[in-house]
Amino acid sequence: MSCGDGQSQKFSGTTRMVFDGAQSCRIEVDGKRGAFTASKSGSVTCTVSGDVLNCS
């Protein structure tokens, strides 16, 4: 996962990132790519479960 603010993480299972403001992030899991936008400051937790990636 890499985000516009320069944060980048490799993870397996669950990861948590903290943002100072809105950020767009790119994610690649097992060759599959996706993206999400954190719309405000705070933290985002992403979990990989099988073929599904959930970020909240």
Q: What is the pLDDT of residues 2-16, one digit of tens each?
A: 999 999 988 777 788
User: pLDDT by residue (tens digit) across 23-34?
Assistant: 998 988 777 777
Domain ranges of the chain: 2-48
The single residue listed with the structure tokens 């899991």 is 29
Helix (H, G, I), strand (E, B) or coil at 30: coil
Please give the distance of CA 30 from its chain centroid, rounded to a whole number: 14
CB 36 within 8 A of CB 12: no
Decide: pTM greater than 0.85. Answer: no
pLDDT at 44 over 90: no
**What are the DSSP E strand ranges found in the chain?**
2-3, 14-19, 23-29, 32-38, 42-49, 52-55
Pairing status of strand 32-38 against strand 23-29? antiparallel
Neighbours of 47 (CB within 10 A): 14
